[in-house]
Structure 1
Amino acid sequence: MTYRAKSDFLNVIMQRGFLADCTDLQALDETLTQGPVTAYIGYDATAASLHVGHLLNIMLLRWFQKTGHKPVTLMGGGTTKVGDPSFRSDERPLLDDAAIQRNIDGMQQVFARFLDYGDGRAQMLNNADWLVGLNYLDFLRDIGRHFSVNRMLSFESVKSRLDREQSLSFLEFNYMILQAYDFMELYRRHGVTLQMGGSDQWGNIVNGIDLTRRVLDREVWGLTTPLLTTSDGRKMGKSAGGATWLNAEMLSPYEFWQFWRNTTDADVGRFLKLYTELPVEECDRLGALAGSEINEAKVILANHVTTLLHGADAAASAETTAREVFEQGGAGGDLEVVTVPGNALPLPVAQLLVQTGIVSSGKEAKRLVAEGGLRLNNDPVSDPQMTVDQALIGEGLKVSVGKKKHRMVQIG
């Protein structure tokens, strides 16, 4: 029988599809009904921006706050120096302190969009505060003795790596101990009683719960979300072009909007529940649409997710641009976005055409222009010597050849 949650938080996330597993669902539910709970999710600073794969758990933190509780975003200033080996085939490249701090600064921009940090309603912490100064021998004696190597080797995240006979360094092997120590320290310093994360973090979360019980004799909980794949089997947020970044300087709001507009029909209802705040019934209704109507549901999805991250103006601008391209340009489908480095401009229009992939050579591009086959922002171009600069591209330059070949050029 499906568990009926009493707390608002669990009720919401179970209805919307966030819950994969929990260490003690009933005990956590009772605690959530008794008053505000503090929970955290950890983020290692391995890149200058978070990506769409992180968005599920960011929305989880947002719902946690909206239902009356206190979220903590833990920056991995310390653990990033080690690298999480969970389900990876190789060791992460090691970053220096300056690179880690730059990445943390970039990631903070996203959290500020989704969480309210005012008056202590949410906290952003950094595990470097307690990990960097650890005394190795004291740590081994006081913390390491609580971990069984046999048990650590049995966790799927480690076992899968060893089964493939891929190297697992002693540095990486320490990661799960450090993450467990994070949970205990967060409880001790900030009263954190719940760790949340993707289901690939289950072993690390359980270690933290066990360590807190052994050392402090306190009960804490863990909760995981499913690892999402799209209906066609792709990992959420991954595409041929790489990660779908959340920072505007790494991926424009228009490209972010397009990512959601291009959602597969079968995923629309599920993604509306997970990535927007629309009522569940409305998500189900929109997800059940068919034919051309499902495309309008995708626009609603794209607008709501883009509004949360980049603001309503950015979402409206992206929709307007897309409709101009699809309806006036006759593209009748997805629009490929091409990014041009700012330092490469100005650029001859013939060279730009080659870079967009619309033509294969400069000679073909010049012939196309001479024959009147090129339009920029729907205006015909007749001069093969024309150059394209930053002012012309602006927020986006629509390049059209005939009625079916279109590209959106943006400055990267």
Structure 2
Amino acid sequence: MKKRRISLFNAQPAEDALLVAVQTPGLSQHAVSDCLSELSRLVETSGGRVVGTVVYRLERPDPAFFITRGKAQDLASKVQDCAARTVLFDDDLSPAQTRNLERLTGVRVIDRTQVILDIFAMHAHTKAGRLQVGLAQLEYLLPRLRRMWTHLERQRGGIGVRGGPGEQQIEVDRRRIKVRISQLKKELRQVERHRDQLRKHRRRHGWILVCLVGYTNAGKSTLLNTLTGASVMVNDKLFATLDPVTRRLKLPGNLQVLITDTVGFIRKLPHQLVEAFHATLEEVLEADLLLHVVDASHYEAEAQVEAVNEVLRELGADTRPVIGVLNKVDREGALQRARRLCKLFERAVPVSALTGQGVNDLLVEISDELRYQQVRVSVRIPSHRGDLITLARSSGHVLAEHYDDGYVKLTANVPADIAGRLRKAEAGAGEER
């Protein structure tokens, strides 16, 4: 017997959506407008169409309707006026709030998290990406099963009664979902182990790891292509890149590093996604240097920087060395804004990943920062250890290299872990003598 597929995602065609935002004390009208603009882009990316927007002023969210019953009744009237088939809230709704709003408005009600999860599902092309999105979706879905079955009971002409078929099926579905969540977590642990082995392999071969982070659509993929000559897909849509892409980058002074493009961040990034994408975001935690790419042409660039920093803090990656890459300075007014944004970073470089402006300055800045992290080491190791000599050359800067009686005296600036391996080889050679 074929199992019934359980999903709240991609279950219906693209729908006309009415967007709802809430303005609470301390939140400016400008900030609310920007949130609605971003929500509108999320809808477009997911294949929907915005038919209207509405903003409600609230002191605090209402536990039953989020926007109070009176405002919910007003919302129902607006739904009829614009013939919306979906109401989309910019904030997270509880299952009870969603259920109450759907009963009152008579249309499907979803929140920002569901739209983001839907977009992630659209753009997940690798096995790891699909596993991570699937886990986030199921964890979001689990507490909302009763709402799903309320819809089905209505379609059958009645409301579910305790112990009825809907109530029994909810428990069956809940068990299935919990089993599937457990399976996905197990498979993701295997993905994490595989990626951890890759990182260890890179470390053993002396690779320095640089990671691109930033707000979604800030231009990270374009920058990766410009820096490395890669051909990563570039799309003017939110969350076009989900799976990490790693390429080799040659810096001034013949220093070679690996640079990784990662998933973009966004304000109110669902916690389920941060948790589920732990395997992907491990790249950020392991990086020697983060390049925080900022769309300097965006009027809310400062808020976007803070949103990225908030996610980095949640990941525990906020102590990593960072260079601010103030991108899109080829656009009107962006260079002036970039000069103000420089104050948010200890090191920052204005660039245009599209035209190449400032890219050479960025390469120099990256090289300088990585060399600053290096330590100087002077060792005497057996000359047959060519692997270590090559490692010192590729991961750092060799200052002196002198061969004598089967040994080589090496002075170099290298990463701390490579310095430790060189000293260990020297100590081992001393014991053999």
TM-score above 0.5, yes or no: no
With normalisation by structure 1, the TM-score equals: 0.29
Which structure has more RCO (C-alpha within 8 Å, separation ≥ 6)?
1
| Structure whose alpha-carbon radius of gyration is higher | 2
With normalisation by structure 2, the TM-score equals: 0.28
